[in-house]
Amino acid sequence: MPTISDQTDLFRKKLLGKTGKISDKTLEMHLGIYAVQVRRAKELLAAVEKEDLPEEGALPGSLFRANRLDLSYCLCAARSHELYFQILGGSGAAPQGKLREWIDRDFGSLGRFLRDLRATALASDSWAWSCLDPASGRLFNLLGDPRGGLPLWGGLPLIALDMEDHAFLLDFGQDRAAYLDSLLGQIDWEAVASRLPLL
């Protein structure tokens, strides 16, 4: 039976000591937040599967409603964290191949794409993503609110940037821009490119 998996150990192995100014202490704390989201998603899924459907009149304000909202939140947050950890810890070498072609096509240049992504992330209180929209075929940089997932139906997320306090406060204080610059400087572009559909 398919299940929700916790990839904490895999990310720890990949990233400890390899995230530049983002300390191992922050990384461990952040992995802990992710692990709680996965565990909570599993608990909520189990609760939802066991629950009897309430009477229709009792649905607004019900535990049924709260559990489903929380399940969606925990899954979205876990997925964004998984992508964040997947694209962290790169060498900083520029993207190549199809990914670079599409960035240049949709944003004019890599520099312009990064400036757009940086501004998008700084404007966000929680997440910023770069994603491919299969419907139009182009790349978008988008931001979301703390409880939301990727705000584009069918969008394929390529990059997730976590702009919540817990991602940077310990290492950068309130200097979100310094954190973001460290983050953008260590994007693993090969990991990003591996998410593109095969053409």
Question: Least Å distance between CB 95 and Fe ion?
Answer: 24
Question: Least Å distance between CB 108 and Fe ion?
Answer: 31
Nearer to Fe ion, 162 or 188 (CB): 162
Binding of residue 162 to Fe ion (CB under 5 A): yes
- Given a contact cutoff of 8 angstroms between Cβ atoms, the answer to whether 87 and 127 are in contact is no
Question: Least Å distance between CB 30 and Fe ion?
Answer: 5
Question: Least Å distance between CB 83 and Fe ion?
Answer: 11
The Cα-based distances of 88 to 14, 46, 108, 141 in angstroms read: 9, 31, 24, 18
What is the Cα–Cα distance from 163 to 128, expressed in whole angstroms?
7
Nearer to Fe ion, 31 or 139 (CB): 31
Which stretch, 66-74, 98-106, 117-125, 162-170, contacts Fe ion (CB under 5 A)?
162-170
Q: Which residues contact 41 (CB under 8 A, 6 or more apart)?
A: 4, 71, 74, 75, 78
Which stretch, 120-128, 136-144, 161-169, 171-179, contacts Fe ion (CB under 5 A)?
161-169
Placement of tokens 């960035």 in the chain: 103
The Cα-based distances of 69 to 17, 59, 63, 75, 139 in angstroms read: 36, 13, 10, 10, 29
Which stretch, 35-43, 95-103, 155-163, 186-194, contacts Fe ion (CB under 5 A)?
155-163
Instruction: Please give the residue whose beta carbon sits closest to Fe ion in the complex.
Output: 162
Nearer to Fe ion, 158 or 183 (CB): 183
Nearer to Fe ion, 62 or 72 (CB): 72
Nearer to Fe ion, 44 or 77 (CB): 77
Nearer to Fe ion, 73 or 113 (CB): 73
DSSP state string for 96-156:
-HHHHHHHHHHHSSHHHHHHHHHHHHHT-SSEEEEEEETTTTEEEEEEE-TT---SSTT-E
Where on the chain is the footprint of Fe ion (CB under 5 A)? 162
